[in-house]
Amino acid sequence: MKFINLKTILSTAVIASMITGCATTTGNQTFDNNQNAIIGATLGTIAGVVLGNNVGGGSKSRNKVIGAVAGAAIGGAIGYSMDKQAQEVAESLNTNVNNNPNAALDPNQDLIVSNTDNYVKVMFRDDMMFETNSANPTYSAQTKISKINSVLQKYPNTLVQVVGHTDNRGTHAYNQNLSEKRASNVGNIIYNSGVSNQIFSRGCSFDKPVALNNNEANMGLNRRVEVYLYPNQQSVIDVCK
């Protein structure tokens, strides 16, 4: 078994921070964007060290540094790409990136764009998307959903997953069907706009609430459609857990 040298990781992590340091943004997003890029670069650095440590031929220390720099560049690029896409999606929807974990509990937030270093998430409240018990997005909702497409056209390799969520009124099977139809219809709006991205849809019924289904206000928070944008298949998460 080969072990990763901590000194090599630390030294190449410095290189990673130098690489990501050239990524500049404006406004309140500066810290979060650079932080995500550095996280991605650091993870890429570690992966690169492992790769370089196992590459045959040449100096082992040289291979480690080459692998680390390559990994840092790739990891930093993914982190920065997600930050950049989140900012562009938010701008297309006339809002800001909001990574506050409690934002989903604010009833005044009917549209939330957030991101991690692995994905961008756009949350649409049910009330602004559908008529009661309907799976068909309203005209205004279709117009808003379509605004995301201008960003997706710039990132054709981004994977798109549309997810429907309901409250717990009615049976699980009924809500499963409703959540799937809503997700599918939103996905079709994106697909029919002519983007070349791979698009998937999924319904979670009432399996993943953001609040307790103990009153009308909280039930309204739980009825939502979320659009996830992933850089690759490895970043896809189980959205119903």
Q: What are the per-10-residue average pLDDT scores of the chain (241 residues)?
A: 38 40 36 44 46 50 46 51 93 96 93 95 91 87 92 95 96 96 96 93 97 95 96 94 90
What confidence score (pLDDT) does residue 132 get?
Answer: 77
Q: Rounded CA gap, 201 and 161, in Å?
A: 5
Q: Which of 161, 194, 169, 165 is nearest to 178 (CA)?
A: 165
Integer CA distances (angstroms), 223 to 6, 22, 210, in order? 47, 40, 9
Helices (H) and strands (E) in the chain, counts: 7, 5
Instruction: Decide if 183 contacts 228 (C-beta within 8 A).
Output: no
Instruction: Decide if 147 contacts 124 (C-beta within 8 A).
Output: no
What confidence score (pLDDT) does residue 77 get?
Answer: 53
What confidence score (pLDDT) does residue 28 get?
Answer: 34
Integer CA distances (angstroms), 152 to 45, 66, 146, 212, in order? 28, 32, 10, 34
3-class secondary-structure state, position 194: coil
